[in-house]
Structure 1
Amino acid sequence: MRSLRVDAVLVQAVIAGALSFAHLHDIAEAAGQDGWKAWAYPISVDLLLVAAWRRLRALQADGSPAAAAWTWFLIALAASLGANVATAGLLDLGDVPDWLRILVAGWPALAFLGGTLLVHSPNNTAEHTADETEDQALYVDRVESTEPVPATDPAPAALEPTEAPAPPATRPEPEPEPAPVQPVEKPRQAPAAASVPSALVDHARKLADAHRARTGSPMDTDTLRARLGVPAPMADAIAAQLT
């Protein structure tokens, strides 16, 4: 039953897409765009619609502002929906108004601008830069707080010159040299478990939730360590707190 339902949805999507494609082609051709240009307009509108929707879902999964993605999604939806409504007899395709010719002629530049802004989003770049800066600052603070301070040896006292002793009357016999004392090696203590800042744990939880929302599976320790830029022991400690 599930496979039949999926097939029905796909057939419905193909039919709706073909009708919308044909309507956009008819509007472009009526507005003076002939040949291959009339066929390129439906592709441009549908691609901008899909790209804006994918960008919108990604921003919502990361918890980032999605106003720009919403804007371009509505523009592409208005272009597709307007073409479908206009071909329903409300517009004379033999004599289209000048404003429609202007909109159709200016669409390529508008679609190019929208696609470029969706791919190179300044909000997304600034967010990743801020996250990387915060991760590096937290890691530096942790290293500085756990790094031992080397002990400084006191400066040796200056040797004062002493008077040379008088030579003995008789030469004493040499005393046997004492056996060298073997230094006792202290047992090495196990390093204390590194403490993880709560801010870093919260940020790691946010990244793990976003990864789960996008892929449907939990984030493994290697991916978490690569995203945070921390050593493997610290990544293991963070992953233990996330479970």
Structure 2
Amino acid sequence: MSARPLRLDAVLVQAVIAGALSFAHLHDLAAAAGQDGWKAWAYPVSVDLLLVAAWRRLRTDGPSRLAWCWFLIALFASLGANVATAGFLDLANPPALLRLGIAGWPALAFLGGTLLAHSADHQIPDPPAPTPAPERAPVTNVELEPEPVPDPEPAPALTEEVPALLAAAPAAAPAVPAVLVDHARKVADEYRDRTGSPIDTDTLRARLGVPPHLADAIAAQLA
């Protein structure tokens, strides 16, 4: 794969010419303010590097007050040098304010470069994207058969047992079954709770539906 040939661009040529002129003006201004030798050449390098660093910060991280502040400071330094060397200042006798600005520029440029280089480490990271909840399997409608309810146990059928017991018992001394006595006792207790007096034989016979001689025998056991 062949490398792309370098083409001359009018904008690139204009940028190189403007940069060279700005570089020279900064050098001349620093030299006029008393910075001789390599120090006069270091000033334009410092201004241009700060300008490029601020512009790169704006392009990569987006607009911010820090980047715009140092971009304007570097731009003012470069533009001020261009204007000052155009004859507005007597470079043979530079004012004290210009000497003060040139002398304090290294510390100012060092502070700006440090902030632009390391302030991105303290940015608050973006919150992680929420994890989608796992999909639940669809619940199918299951028809549940109702549990069979057991039938209640029937109460002892007294009306069916009494005739058979009466037929088997002798007429002289009727034998009263225990289940009939228990039922008669419940009837007597209910009557006593309701009326406050013991149940009589006729009422007991009517409630139980038994013959008179059997009612007498039951009443005798309840007494």
What TM-score do the two structures reach when normalised by structure 1? 0.50
Q: Number of aligned residue pairs: give it.
A: 132
- Describe how 1:66-105 pairs up with structure 2 within 5 A: 66-105=64-103
Instruction: For residues 193-213 of structure 1, give each alpha carbon's deviation from its aligned partner in whole angstroms, at most 9, with x where no partner exists.
Output: xxxxxxxxxxxxxxxxxxxxx
Letter in 2 for 1:30: A
Query: Computing the radius of gyration over CA atoms, which structure comes out larger, 1 or 2?
Result: 2
Aligned counterpart, 2:163: none
Quote how far apart the aligned CAs of 1:59 are. 2.3
Residue of structure 1 aligned with 2:123, choices 123, 126, 140:
126
Aligned counterpart, 1:16: 18
Structure 1 unpaired stretches of 5+: 149-243
DSSP 3-state at the match of 1:121: helix
Aligned counterpart, 2:57: 55
Aligned counterpart, 1:159: none
Quote how far apart the aligned CAs of 1:5 are. 8.7
Instruction: For residues 155-186 of structure 1, give each alpha carbon's deviation from its aligned partner in whole angstroms, at most 9, with x where no partner exists.
Output: xxxxxxxxxxxxxxxxxxxxxxxxxxxxxxxx
Quote how far apart the aligned CAs of 1:120 are. 1.2
Letter in 2 for 1:117: L
Quote how far apart the aligned CAs of 1:125 are. 2.9
- Describe how 1:63-212 pairs up with structure 2 within 5 A: 66-121=64-119, 125-128=122-125, 131=126, 134-135=127-128, 138-139=130-131, 142=132, 146=134
DSSP 3-state at the match of 2:9: helix
Q: 1: CA distance between counterparts of 2:6 and 2:116?
A: 36
How many percent identity over aligned positions? 71
Q: 2: CA distance between counterparts of 1:108 and 1:21?
A: 16
Letter in 2 for 1:68: L
Q: 1: CA distance between counterparts of 2:84 and 2:115?
A: 29
Matched, 1:26 2:28: yes
Letter in 1 for 2:71: F
Instruction: For residues 90-114 of structure 1, give each alpha carbon's deviation from its aligned partner in whole angstroms, at most 9, with x where no partner exists.
Output: 0011100111111001000000100
Quote how far apart the aligned CAs of 1:6 are. 5.1
Q: 1: CA distance between counterparts of 2:6 and 2:40?
A: 35
What TM-score do the two structures reach when normalised by structure 2? 0.54
Quote how far apart the aligned CAs of 1:127 are. 2.6
Structure 2 unpaired stretches of 5+: 137-223
Shift in CA distance, 126/39, structure 1 to aligned 2, threshold 3 Å: same
Letter in 2 for 1:23: H
Quote how far apart the aligned CAs of 1:4 are. 11
